[in-house]
Amino acid sequence: MSLPANMNILHIFNEYLPKTEVWAYELIRHCPEVNHYVIADYYANVEDFEQGVHLLNRKKGLLRKKRAQASQYDFPRNLFQPLFVLSDTMSSSDSIGKLIGKHKIDIVHIHFGTTAIERWDELKTLQVKIVISFYGWDYAKAIYYNPSYKKTYRDIFEKAHLLITEGSAGRERLIDLGAEDSKIKSLALGVSSSKEISTKTFKSDSTLRLVQVASFSEKKGQLLTIQAFQKAREKHSTPSSIQLTLVGDNRDIYYAQEVKQCVIDQNLSDSISILDWIDFEKLDSILKGFDVFIHPSQYAADGDCEGGAPVILLHAQANGLPIISTTHCDIPEQVIHSRTGILTDEGNVEALTDAILEFAEMSADQYTTMSQQAIEHITQQFNIIDTGKRLFAYYSDLNDLI
């Protein structure tokens, strides 16, 4: 494949690519005038994410084994299994250093700080510009389970030329870990927002339809969603007029079981639907069937956090759904309180309850205004085309450095 390009970028992933990380592929493929090369230890769903990129070690890389559903931890292979390094899956002639020379790589872009840790023995000797994108799990939960990462991060920060976070929350965490503020730039994840959104019928059949789309894990707050939903129904004059749908995969099977058991124990099976994860291509059509997107993100007991903000909040707003969420991490940078949604303090079930009731009692005109404001906000601030151009500008600035 021949691509016109000013630069050659080598992207390094641990896994390319879980369906919950479609945003990484969207970012790469919308970065213009660049040859994008990818290497990874694990490959999954490659047929969905190979257009516009060169997969350098697909044949030699490991096929990703089924995620350990029995684990209570996200990404268990990063923490509790022996770390696979590229030398395990690639011949010496295909080491990172050799690939840099062979493909005339200008910049190495590592996705997730933990990926940089796994590759550190090789990366620290390379004479190439290095960019590392941090997404939250890598500087929160990973450090909770492996505090020794803090020391390695300090070495990595010194070697790296650019550190990217989704927003100010991530910047603060990296600075706390020892990164230089001057090396950190923000790049919020973007979504496609060029499609026309048809006018939504608010509370069709006089029913407020809430939806949450997220892997089942503590930081996503599904239990808080259920608690607030139940309280809102108890306070509302017509409880059956408020319905909830939870969509997600069992990222943390123990938490997922707790959520599902909670629905049963609270006798909410008739008003809460639980669906398996949906493909990205079906997301927009699914969202159109709902009125409000609820997502009460929080810090988990093990330190896990959103890092920036869940990209699903951008998708929901782009589809005209106002948001009920929290002030967790960078969510206030993506959801404008009282304009494109309602934000509460994290963990505050009563405030979440009040937010649900506010939408339940909201007029159609008020809702339409908020829905349109959500669409405009995403179109103007989080268009993936603009985000890709911004990433290209970061690469260009680095490439111009001597």
Q: How far apart are CA 227 and CA 222, in angstroms?
A: 9
pLDDT over 50 at 114, yes or no: yes
For the domain made up of 204-381, the CATH class stated in words is alpha beta
pLDDT of amino acid 321: 96
Angle at 249 between CA 85 and CA 198, to 5 degrees: 115
- Two structure tokens written together for 188: 């919020």
What is the reported pLDDT for 195? 55
| pLDDT 10s digits, 350-384 | 999 999 999 999 999 999 999 999 999 999 999 99
Judged against a pLDDT cut of 50, whether residue 80 lies above it is answered with no
**162-181 pLDDT, tens digit each:** 999 999 999 999 999 999 99
Q: Residues 111, 137: contact at Cβ < 8 Å?
A: no
Q: In which band, very low, low, confident or very high, does the pLDDT at 237 lie, cut at 50, 70 and 90? A: very high
Residue 77 main-chain phi, psi, to 5 deg: -65, -25
pLDDT of 94 > 90? The answer is: no
Confidence at residue 42, expressed as pLDDT on a 0 to 100 scale? 86
pLDDT for position 58: 72
- The whole-number pLDDT of residue 83 equals 43
Query: What average pLDDT does the segment 116-120 reach?
Result: 95
Mean pLDDT of the chain: 89
pLDDT computed for residue 57 by the predictor: 80
- What whole-number distance in Å separates Cα of residue 81 and Cα of residue 76? 7
Would the pLDDT of 88 be above 70?
no
- Assigned token pair, 321: 């759904």
> What confidence score (pLDDT) does residue 37 get?
97
Q: State the average pLDDT over residues 84-108.
A: 74
Omega before 17 cis (within 30°)? yes
Amino acid identity, position 189? L
Could you read off the pLDDT of 138-155 as tens digits, one per residue? 999 999 999 999 999 999
Q: What is the pLDDT of residue 4?
A: 45
CA–centroid distance for 126 within its chain: 29
- Coil, helix or strand at residue 196: coil
- pTM comes to 0.87
Neighbours of 293 (CB within 10 A): 24
Give the pLDDT score at 258.
Answer: 97
Asked if residue 314 lies in contact with residue 287, where contact means CB atoms within 8 angstroms, the answer is no
Lowest mean pLDDT among 43-52, 127-136, 159-168, 387-396: 43-52
Asked if 214 contacts 180 with a C-beta cutoff of 8 angstroms, the reply is no
Q: What is the pLDDT of residue 5?
A: 56
Domain locations in the chain? Answer: 7-190+383-399, 204-381
Architecture of domain 7-190+383-399: 3-Layer(aba) Sandwich (3.40)
Average pLDDT over residues 235-259: 94
What's the pLDDT at 357?
Answer: 98
Which residues make beta-bridge pairs with 212?
Answer: 246
* Cα–Cα separations (whole angstroms), residue 17 to 20, 245, 357, 389: 8, 26, 39, 22
Strand residues in 240-340 grouped as ranges (E): 242-247, 272-275, 292-295, 323-326
Summarize pLDDT for 284-339 with one digit per residue, the tens. Answer: 889 999 999 999 999 999 999 998 899 999 999 999 999 999 999 999 999 999 99
**Confidence bin at 198 (pLDDT 50/70/90):** low
194 by DSSP, 3-state: which? coil
How does residue 197 score in pLDDT terms, banded at 50, 70 and 90? low
Q: Is residue 107 within 8 Å of 398, Cβ to Cβ?
A: yes
85-110 average pLDDT score: 77
Span 32-47, mean pLDDT?
92
The mean pLDDT of 267-294, rounded to a whole number, is: 91
pLDDT range class, residue 199, cuts 50, 70, 90:
low
* pLDDT tens for each residue of 206-225: 999 999 999 999 999 999 99
